[in-house]
Structure formats: C-alpha cells, structure tokens
Amino acid sequence: MSPEIVFDPYTRLYSEASTLIRSSGIRDLLSVTGRSDIISFGGGLPYIGGLPPEDFSGVMNDVMREGFTKAFQYGETEGLETLRSRLVEVMAEEGLGAEPEHILITTGSQQALDLIGRIFIDPGDTIVMEAPTYVGALSAFSPGGPRILTIPLDDMGMRVDLLEEVLKRDDAPAPKFVYIVPNFQNPAGVTMNRSRRDKLMELADEYDLLIIEDNPYGLLRFEGEPEETLARRDPHRVVYLGTLSKIVSPGIRVGWVMAPAPVVEKLAALKQSADLCSSNLTQMFAEAYLGQDMWKKNLESQKVIYRSRRDAMLKSLVKYFPKEAHWTHPQGGLFIWATLPEYLDTAKMLPQAIEQKVAYVPGTAFYPDYAGANHMRLNFSFPSEEQIVQGIKSLGKVIRKEMELYHSLGLDHS
Amino acid sequence: MKPKIAVLMGGRSLERSVSLKSGKRVVRALEHRGYDVISLDVDENLVPRLLSDRPDLVYIALHGKYGEDGTVQELLEIIDIPYTGPGPLASMIGFNKVLSKELFRENGIPTPGYYTISSSALKEMGASELLGDAWEKLGSPLVVKPAAQGSALGVRIVEKWDDLPDALIAALGYDDRAILEEYVEGCEVAVSVIGTEDPETLPVVEIVPVSGFFDYESRYTPGKTDYFIPARLDRKVTAEVERVARATHELLRCKDLSRVDIIVGNDGVPYVLELNISPGMTETSLLPLAAEAAGMSFEDLVERLVELALA
C-alpha cells in the first residue's frame, strides 16, 4: 500500500485547459472585505440600495400573474424574442441600430465572453487585449490557451498606434480578435476617444480584424458627450456585448451579444450545450421592466449617486494620496484606476490596507502576465460618500507608510 | 442532553476564508454527532451573543489574528466558558514566532537560527545597514517571514541577496516585524499533538509541495502538494520528531491540542519552525489528515477535542 495521500484523486483526469484556469490567492484575501466593517473599493458592484424596490416587485408581480406558465418553462436558446426587441431599444439609446435576429441573450455578458473564447480560440492563437484589461475576460479566454498580446492604454483608451506597430511587423501572427472595453473601461475607467475609434476601425479593415466590443457601462455616462460605438461604425467587424447588470441588476443575469448572423448562430449552438437557454423568468422581468419608463428614471438617479461618489473619491484622492500618485478621471462607469510610484507593489501592500479596514484590487489582477504591480483599481459605485472619504484617507496613510519602508531599504527608485 | 456548542469562525483575519471552511466542516461534524450547534462569524457582536446564548462550550475554528493570538481565548476566560485548544498564554507565544523561537532556544528545542527586524527599526534607525551582516551570518538561502501570521502568508525563500529587500517588504506587509531565518534543508513534517498531561502524537505527516515550497496556494489547492503518512523517516528519527513535538507542546503549556511544524534536517535533527494552536480543519488540512491515518474520522477528531475541552 502506498502511504501517499491523494486529496484529489481526479487529478489525472483533468483536461489540459483546466490547468490554464486563472486563480489567485488575492481572492481569498479579499474574502475578508465582505465584512461590514471593511470599506471595500474592491468589488465592481452596482449600488442596488439606490433602486426603488417597489418598482421591481411591481414588475415581478405582473410577470408572475400574467406569464406564470411561460416564466417557469424552458425557453428558446436565442432568448425571448420580445426581450430582444426591447434590447434593440436599449442599444438605440447609444445610437446603435440592430435587428433582434442578430441578438443572442446570454447569462450575463460573462457567458458571452466564455462562448466567444470557445468559438474563436485554439491553443496558440493570438488575441489582442488592452493592458490593463477586464479580469473576467482574462479568465474566460485563458482556458483556450491563447497567446495574449497586450496593448497599453492611456487616458484616451487603447494605444491604437502601438497596435498598428505590432500588426505591421512581418512576423506578426494575425490575431483572432481584438477585445476592448471602449467606455469607462474596467479597470482603468478611461474612454477611447473618437480618433482612436476611427483608427481602430481603419486597422480592422486593413488587417481584416474582428473586434469584440464589450460595453457594460456605456449608459452610465454622467459627464461629457457619448462616443459612437464601434459596432455602429461597422457591424460586420464587431461582436458587441451588452448587459443589464450595471443599468438594471446583476442579479437577473441578463446580457447579450449582437453579432453578424453566422457568429450568432455559432454562439447559439454552443450556448445550447452550455445551458440550453437563459432563465425565462428573469428575461420576462427584464422585458417588462424595460417596457416601462421607470428604467430610465431609475438609471438617471443611479447616475446622480455614482457621480457624487466619483466626485467624493476624486476629491479625497487629491487630499489624501501622496503627490507621486496619479489616477484616471472617469466620466462614467464604476472605477478609478490609480497609479502609484513605480517601485510599489499593491499586492504586497494589500494586507496592510485590510488591517486598516480598507480594500482594493491590486493591479496585477488585470494583466495576463501579472504586470501592473504599482496600480490599484478603486470602485466608487458601491461605498457611500462617507466611506469613500474615510477609506481613501486610510489608504493614503497605508501608501505613505509603505513608501517610507521602501525608502528605508533604498528601494524608492524605479 | 448534549451540550450546546458555539463554533467561532471567520472574523477579520486574513485567513478568514480558510477559517470559514474549517468552521463549516466542524459545524457539520458536530451536528451529525447530535450537538446543539451555533455558528458565529466573529464580529463586534461576539461577546453579546456569547452572553445571551450561553453555550456550554466554544469551539475555536478561527485562524490568524484575534483567533490564534490569544485575544479570543482571553475573552473566553473572562466570560468563563470552556473552549477548545490552548489558553491565552500558549496562543500568544505560539502566534508570535519570535517569542516562541526564543523560548525554544532557551529550552533546548532545536530551531533554525534567525534574526528579527522591525519596520520601525528600518524606518527610524537605519537598520537596513545590518541586512548584509544578517545575510552573511545566516547564510543563503534564507527564509523571510512575518513574525506573526499563519498559512505561510508573506513567507519567501530568498536565494539571492538582491531579492532580500523585496521579500522583507512582502513579510512586513503582514506584520511590523519580520524574521530572517536560516534555511534548513531536509524533510518538512507536521506533528499534531493531542492532550495536556502526557499528550499523544498523531502520525507524522510529511509535506512535499509540488512547487518545492509549501506556500498558501500549495496548502489549499488539492494536487499542489503530496503528503506521506507516516512520514518517510526511519523509526529512530520518527521517535525523536515525536518527542520534540511533545516537548514543544508542553513547553508552551498547550491545553488539548497543537500542531508542531518541523523540518528534519539532513543531519537527522528535528528543527521546530513553529507551533499552531488552532490548526486548519479544511479538506486539505494536516491535522484531520493525521487523525485519519490514526483511524480517527473527522467527526471523531472534532468530538475528541470537544470532550477534552469539557473534561
């Protein structure tokens, strides 16, 4: 008898792809931030507390009364036809024209990312992402084993000029797609400006690129003028992802993909094997909710709250962060991206912050190669203004203490 | 009537998620054995809850700060409710690796050589000048760890001088004081000790991390570490390891339970690294594993600890 203990007797059965699943100890550390006495800038939660429950229960009651047998039945894989029509109206709010046939309802846009990864990526394929990029897209695409080419972004979004340089190289492998969050990017909070959008679509033509445009926050603009979506510029080159998670609720898990017909068909075939269909119940809720004007009214009041929270955070950052730090000024969305002196490592600093009852997500989470150690993502939609002021104040102290420590070790240079 | 037991778990420590796993397993085991169980996630309502619920016993499934450093144990002494595991003094010493190593050294329990350095000494006394000395005296590689923290959080093995400052920053993220410890090459083992007077040891568990280093991820990810029970040591060395583990347990005056982490050097000497007063109870934890090898199911183990605490 072998004395060796095997906790996981299935190890030999796991697929190669399962070994590529991204996991991190940071998630465990952040589990402590679910506690009420910790001010968390870590999550990406919309502020549901700001919504009127009676609006939601009214709509839900109507659904139960009028659609009981349908709501609790299986549905079509593509999603409810009636909801897809409503989503066409939602997209029209951003100037996007669409046909319901080109829409596939997904279980949040996270499912869309997973499906996209699986229909496009073979091991070793090149895909392009922003650096930093959405952590959920990284985890959705990674099991496919792609080579991830990252293009840095700045205050005006992805550095399309750098993308062009890469594409120009003779030995450059043709990327399967370019994944981008053009509005109020997660984690950076920045929005791609018009000229870069123009340039990106030019490159798409020139190099025959497919763009995955992930737009969860577009309707959460509380300042400035909206930019035209990429999908509107060229619907044949863009797979567009939308979601109700940030403008209605993440609890209903309703997202969607709008894509050229053959892509929708492929995605739908895969979705069928993934979960047959999204929940009729929550789709019917979404349809009914979007059918009434209250959704716009509620969204407007959410935006007022988010705007004043963002303002509170920006003001506190100026007041409490060291002068060596800088950060983005989002005109919408949920996140501010702070950049600390280059020698600092926000992952190493996180336990100190948690000890001081404040939390954030370290920058490394948003890079495929775990670069970006001197950045942190700060969420302003969920904590209250008082919490934001207090939390940024504490965080400022933690950063200064850490800078002193680096100084004492002669490490405060890049 | 079976006693009413409050299981303390979670809390605000950095090992919260591990503790919640331990705690929930303990709760399930106690419920299966017919106890009246209350789960308590430790927060500012802890004392009021204990005062109003008046459990017959508190099961401590907390890990890390407040649960393992004597804080909760002190409270329970005042409220006068019996609890599982060692008392405040053993907890305080066990959680503080500097205090425990100092005691080991004075009492003839082998422990790797070390120096400590605090962040205030670095910031206010120019202590970084001394790192070269420490590096030379301890030899490389060396281990850098926070003076007080569990689950190997903040622990690094440093092979190159240039990596030392970075490892110090990581360790000082968890505690104001860091330990620079001599790296002992050998066989890593954990010995669980049960009882107070004349304590017994459970089978010695040998730990072989696939990555070469038993870090946080290796500890809690199935498949990342291989374990051998009993450890692949010869009988004489095993007996010595057990003796040293018991001596450590008794030296710190541990009540009922501890887990002693040891490296058996290539010279055959068991060097004690630390003593844990609230060892993990997750599915990949060492104490339940050792108990199982001794023919004790998880439920048996939990019930045994309860009986010891009530005795």
Question: B69, B122, B155, B210: which to substitute to probe chain A, counting the most A Cβ within 10 Å?
Answer: B122
pLDDT at B220: 61
Render pLDDT for A28-54 as a digit per residue (tens, 0 to 9): 666 777 676 889 999 889 999 999 999
Residues A127, A177 within the same domain: yes
| Domain at A164, CATH number | 3.40.640.10
Who among A25, A38, A406 is closest to B169 (CB)?
A406
Number of structural domains (chain A) is 2
Percentage, residues of chain A above pLDDT 70: 94
How far, CA to CA in Å, does B196 sit from each of A187, A240, B241, B301? 53, 66, 18, 16
Rounded mean pLDDT of A111-132?
Answer: 97
Q: Is the pLDDT of residue B219 over 80?
A: no
Q: B268: which 2 tokens? A: 């055959």
Find the catalytic residue in B22, B150, B259, B278.
Answer: B259
Q: Is the pLDDT of residue A185 over 70?
A: yes
The more confidently predicted of residues B49 and B129 is B49
Distance CA A182, CA A242 (A): 12
Q: Is the pLDDT of residue B150 over 50?
A: yes
Rounded mean pLDDT of A266-294?
Answer: 96
Q: Is the pLDDT of residue A180 over 80?
A: yes
- Taking an 8 Å cut-off on Cβ atoms, the answer to whether A28 and B216 are in contact is yes
Please, are residues A116 and A212 in contact by the beta-carbon 8 Å criterion? yes
Residues of A in contact with B127 (CB under 8 A): 408
Residues A66, A159 within the same domain: yes
pLDDT band at A101 (very low <50, low <70, confident <90, very high): very high
pLDDT band at B214 (very low <50, low <70, confident <90, very high): low
Residue indicated by tokens 């929005």: A191
pLDDT at A59: 96
Q: Is the pLDDT of residue B222 over 70?
A: no
pLDDT at A3: 45
Residues of A in contact with B14 (CB under 8 A): 29, 32, 351, 354
Q: Is the pLDDT of residue A23 over 70?
A: no
Strand ranges across the sheet with A254-258:
A103-107, A254-258, A238-243, A211-214, A178-180, A126-131, A147-154, A157-158
Percentage, residues of chain A above pLDDT 90: 86
Looking at domain B4-84, its CATH architecture is 3-Layer(aba) Sandwich (3.40)
Residues A158, A273 within the same domain: yes
Does the domain formed by B114-182 have CATH 3.30.1490.20?
yes
Closest alpha carbon within chain A to B155: A348
- In the listed set A293, A320, A337, which residue is the last one of a domain according to the structure? A293
* Structural domain spans, chain B: 4-84, 93-110+185-310, 114-182
Residues A41, A80 within the same domain: no
* ipTM confidence: 0.85
pLDDT at B154: 87
Distance CA B157, CA A321 (A): 33
CATH number of B93-110+185-310: 3.30.470.20
Distance CA A143, CA A397 (A): 39
Rounded mean pLDDT of B80-98?
Answer: 96
Residues of B in contact with A25 (CB under 8 A): 216-217
Distance CA A190, CA A255 (A): 22
pLDDT band at A281 (very low <50, low <70, confident <90, very high): very high
- Taking an 8 Å cut-off on Cβ atoms, the answer to whether B284 and A7 are in contact is yes
Distance CA A37, CA A158 (A): 37
B74 is catalytic: no
pLDDT at A350: 92
Gap from B206 CA to chain A (nearest CA, Å): 9
Residues A307, A228 within the same domain: no
pLDDT band at A9 (very low <50, low <70, confident <90, very high): low
Distance CA A145, CA A211 (A): 19
Mean pLDDT score of chain A = 92
Residues A99, A182 within the same domain: yes
* The amino acid at B184: V
Buried b / exposed e over A312-338, threshold 16 CB at 10 Å, is bbbebbeebbeeebebbebbbbbbbbb
The answer to whether residue A5 sits within a structural domain is no
Could you tell me the residue range of the domain that residue A313 belongs to? Answer: 11-51+296-408
Range ranked top by mean pLDDT from A19-23, B139-143, B238-242: B238-242
pLDDT at B216: 65
A149 part of contact set with chain B, CB < 8 Å: no
Q: Is the pLDDT of residue B83 over 50?
A: yes
The answer to whether residue A226 sits within a structural domain is yes
Residues A173, A280 within the same domain: yes
Is the pTM value of this prediction over 0.80? yes
Residues A333, A219 within the same domain: no
Q: Is the pLDDT of residue B207 over 80?
A: yes
Render pLDDT for A138-147 as a digit per residue (tens, 0 to 9): 999 999 999 9
Who among A23, A36, A405 is closest to B169 (CB)?
A405
The answer to whether residue A56 sits within a structural domain is no
Residues A220, A240 within the same domain: yes
β-partners of residue B144 are B156, B180
- Taking an 8 Å cut-off on Cβ atoms, the answer to whether B165 and A410 are in contact is yes
Render pLDDT for B237-274 as a digit per residue (tens, 0 to 9): 999 999 999 999 999 999 999 999 999 999 999 999 99
A274 part of contact set with chain B, CB < 8 Å: no
Render pLDDT for B162-179 as a digit per residue (tens, 0 to 9): 999 999 999 999 999 999
The answer to whether residue A3 sits within a structural domain is no
- In the listed set A293, A321, A350, which residue is the last one of a domain according to the structure? A293
Buried b / exposed e over A84-97, threshold 16 CB at 10 Å, is bbbbbebbeebebe
Residues A162, A307 within the same domain: no
pLDDT band at A17 (very low <50, low <70, confident <90, very high): confident
Find the catalytic residue in B13, B151, B218, B278.
Answer: B151
- In the listed set A237, A265, A293, which residue is the last one of a domain according to the structure? A293
Residues A142, A166 within the same domain: yes
A18-27, B235-244, B302-311, range with the lowest pLDDT: A18-27
Interface of B with A (CB under 8 A): 12-14, 16-18, 20, 43-44, 119, 122-123, 126-128, 153-154, 165-166, 168-170, 172-174, 216-217, 220-223, 226-230, 232, 283-284, 289
- Taking an 8 Å cut-off on Cβ atoms, the answer to whether A406 and B14 are in contact is no
Find the catalytic residue in B150, B274, B278, B303.
Answer: B274
Q: Reduced to 3 states, what is the DSSP secondary structure of residue A379?
A: strand
Distance CA B94, CA B73 (A): 13
pLDDT at A27: 66
Phi then psi for B122, rounded to 5 degrees?
-70, -45
Residues of B in contact with A405 (CB under 8 A): 119, 122-123, 169, 172
Q: Would the CATH topology of B4-84 be identical to that of B114-182?
A: no
Buried b / exposed e over B242-267, threshold 16 CB at 10 Å, is bebbbbbbbbbebbbbbbbbbbbeee
Residues A92, A157 within the same domain: yes
Instruction: Please provide the DSSP assignment of A6-60 as one string.
Output: -S-TTGGG--TGGGG----HHHHHHGGGGSTTSEE--S----GGGS-HHHHHHHH
Mean pLDDT score of chain B = 92
pLDDT at A1: 34
- Taking an 8 Å cut-off on Cβ atoms, the answer to whether B220 and A31 are in contact is no
Gap from B267 CA to chain A (nearest CA, Å): 24
Distance CA B193, CA B201 (A): 4
A20-29, A115-124, B240-249, range with the lowest pLDDT: A20-29
